[in-house]
Amino acid sequence: MQKDIDNINELDKSQNSDSKSNVISSELLNITKSQLQNIEILKFITYLPELLKPSIEQSIYHKIEEVIFELMKTPEKLDDDSMINKLVNITNERVDLDRAALKAKSEDTKKFITLLIKEYEKSLIVSNNSTEKLDDIKSDLNSLEISEHSNRELKLLQAKLSDIIFDLETNLSESKNELNKGRVECTKLEMDIKKLQSDLEKLKIEKDIDFLTGVLNRRGYTSVILKVENRYVTFNSNYAIIFIDIDDFKDINDTYGHDCGDIILKTFSTVLKKMMREEDVICRYGGEEFVTLINYNDEEEVYNYIKRVKVIVDSHKFIYKNGIKIKVHFSAGISFRSKYNSYEDAIKYADILLYKAKHEGKNRIIMDNSKEIL
């Protein structure tokens, strides 16, 4: 309850005279505040279509409209976790669709450039039968498989390119120098497009990686868990969820500084990564919390993994600058996905077990099969 409302209530209690009038005023104040909040929410909702509007690929727009329509009917849903997750998922899907459309457009452009280079090289050799050569070029152009994303733009370019090649063929003797120059420019353009695609992939990876530890961040983890869960549902690929938290991390930061804390986070994540296999997943969930997804055929594999991590951490000290050695411990909760109706239930219980380990003295691991590691 807001502080100013508390004061009004106290005022209502203390004033005996004209109490009904005070109650009505308080109620009017609450109604007005609620109305103002709804107006602000509706105002925000009207901006959502523009904020979520796809840049390139429009196929997702109907989903966006459905969510906006739902929010317009019941604006209070904007504060629900399920609605927030729905908006996050739509945003991620929109970005992925736009990226796929851009990639398709780049591939289509590469097809044309590759063909143009090929025809430049052909045109440098004088042909005795220009008609036959032109027919070959047209056949090559018609055989290109243009994606639906670029159909309208590149059909026009396709026709123009055919005319250009015809002119090049009929004016070969005067155009050789220009052809050579164009070939170089096309080769450079092809290299630029390859670099653009590489940069796009690099940018996507960087957005999914925690810059400090080099493991997945929360955004990257959200994307990966969907794939892991899909494998579980489709192929019954078992995995365990390990929720890990470094004990007394705040005390380390307060005593040695945040630079020291950063070094410990980086070193700790390195230990987790080295103990994992390629098919396993690690994420910095937030602050000093980590989540790992461990694939297994037998639950004992998960027990052995986290046991090895604990032995390494407990038997070593983390080294900070000037030779400062710091003892670090961690607590963890482990749930096995197959024991729960959903991933959300499984990770929630892993978090509960982590809290229990913290509450019972820290530096311990509790599994949902009743095993503990102290």
**22 class by beta-carbon count within 10 Å (0-12 exposed, 13-18 middle, 19+ buried):** middle
Mean pLDDT of the chain: 77
One domain, residues 257 and 315: yes
Average pLDDT, integer, range 88-106: 80
Residue with tokens 């630029």: 192
Model pLDDT, residue 51: 67
Dist CA 57 CA 271 (whole Å): 41
One domain, residues 198 and 232: no
One domain, residues 251 and 171: no
Where a domain ends, among 184, 208, 232?
208
Q: How confident is the model at residue 265 (pLDDT cuts 50, 70, 90)?
A: very high
Average pLDDT, integer, range 287-301: 94
CA-angle at 160, arms to 156 and 163, nearest 5°: 150
| Distance in angstroms between the alpha carbons of the first and the last residue of the chain | 43
> Whole-structure pTM over 0.75, yes or no?
no
* Residue 292 lies inside a defined structural domain of this protein: yes
* Residue 234 lies inside a defined structural domain of this protein: yes
Q: Domain of 199?
A: 53-208
Amino acid at 249: F
One domain, residues 201 and 227: no
In percent, the amount of the chain with pLDDT more than 90 equals 37
Strand, coil or helix: 367: strand
The yes-or-no verdict on residue 314 having pLDDT over 60 is yes
Model pLDDT, residue 83: 79
Average pLDDT, integer, range 253-280: 92
Model pLDDT, residue 7: 44
The yes-or-no verdict on residue 136 having pLDDT over 60 is yes
pLDDT in tens, 143-189: 666 666 565 556 666 666 666 666 655 665 555 666 667 677 767 76
pLDDT in tens, 180-237: 676 777 677 677 666 655 545 554 445 789 989 999 999 899 889 999 999 999 998 9
Domain CATH number, residue 339: 3.30.70.270
Give per-residue burial for 72-107: e unless 16+ CB within 10 Å, then b.
Answer: eeebebbeeeebeebbeebeebbeebbbebbbbbbb
HSE on the CB side for 228, CA within 13 Å? 23
Contact by Cβ (8 Å): 188, 113: no
108 vs 150, 294, 307, CA distance in Å? 7, 40, 52
* Residue 106 lies inside a defined structural domain of this protein: yes
Residue with tokens 């380390």: 252
Number of domains in the chain: 2
pLDDT in tens, 17-67: 454 444 444 444 444 545 555 666 666 777 667 667 666 777 777 778 787
Model pLDDT, residue 162: 62
Lowest model confidence (mean pLDDT) among 82-96, 209-223, 270-284: 82-96
Model pLDDT, residue 150: 60
Lowest model confidence (mean pLDDT) among 36-45, 214-223, 325-334, 350-359: 36-45
* Residue 13 lies inside a defined structural domain of this protein: no
Considering 64-68, 117-121, 344-348, the range whose residues carry the highest mean pLDDT is 344-348
Dist CA 165 CA 357 (whole Å): 74
Dist CA 228 CA 281 (whole Å): 9
